[in-house]
Amino acid sequence: MLEIHDLVLGYGAAAAVRGISLHIEQGEVVTLIGANGAGKSTTLKGIVGLVKPTKGAVVFEGTDVVGKNTDWLARNGLNLVPEGRRVFPGLTVAENLDVASVASSMRGAELKAAIADIYNIFPRLGERKDSLSWTLSGGEQQMLAMGRAIIAKPRLLLLDEPSLGLSPKLATEVVRLISRYSRENGLSVLLVEQNARLALGSSDRGYVLETGRIVAEGVAGELMDNPDVRKAYLGS
């Protein structure tokens, strides 16, 4: 459902992403692993048009989407949750979800059901729906950011370090929730995670990015058994 061919992009003279190709099938959770500065976030930004590729193709459900802007992609089923939680701190949890839903065509009963769905997936958000978002814990804010992204029912979700700043326990919970939601709803996910062990443990496949190039790929279990990957990213 997503294919990237020989994508090159960056910021100025030096390319941060130097010709990568990858694919994601419908309902798959795919992890992108790499050290700081490897080009993971840049890859995600390239997919949603926040950084303009200088070369290559991004094909989403059969359409080349290079040149489409982020809003167009969000309205058409492809959503990014960027690094760092993006919620409106001065609005309540419920208001944050309302605002996010405005961008979709949902109204009335359909919208109510969609919001109830979010509270089902993240019960903690339901409990705190009338709280101002800045009073939420880091994990709760991350859940709200994801809730905002999935309320419009995207078909592909790009998640940039959803566990950043969370305790190991919450990080595990957030990544497992994503994987379960994907299984139950057929949502495809491209997940960027520093914690490779956690991410691969909840993914179908993975790619390893080193200085803008893919150096290894495979099903999650195989990557976890790969000695180079173990040494560099799994600490063993």
Give min distance, CB of 153 to ligand ATP, in A. Answer: 27
Among Mg ion, ligand ATP, none, partner that 147 touches (CB below 5 to 8 angstroms by kind): none
Beta-bridge partner residues of 157: 79, 189
Among ligand ATP, Mg ion, none, partner that 16 touches (CB below 5 to 8 angstroms by kind): ligand ATP
Among ligand ATP, Mg ion, none, partner that 80 touches (CB below 5 to 8 angstroms by kind): none
CA-atom Rg of the chain in angstroms: 17
Q: Is 7 in the site for ligand ATP (CB under 6 A)?
A: no
- Count CA within 13 A, CB hemisphere, residue 221: 0
Cα 93 to Cα 126: distance, rounded to the nearest angstrom: 8
Interface of this chain with ligand ATP, residues 35 to 54, rule: CB under 6 A: 36-42
Q: Is 236 in the site for ligand ATP (CB under 6 A)?
A: no
- Quick one: CA dihedral 31, 232, 41, 7, positive or negative? negative
**Among 29, 17, 5, which Cα is nearest to 209's?**
17
Instruction: Quickly tell me which residue has 């999935």 as its tokens.
Output: 150
Q: Is 34 in the site for ligand ATP (CB under 6 A)?
A: yes
Q: Is 41 in the site for Mg ion (CB under 5 A)?
A: yes
Give min distance, CB of 33 to ligand ATP, in A. Answer: 10
Beta-bridge partner residues of 5: 57
Give min distance, CB of 34 to Mg ion, in A. Answer: 9
Q: Which residues bind ligand ATP (CB under 6 A)?
A: 11, 16, 34, 36-42
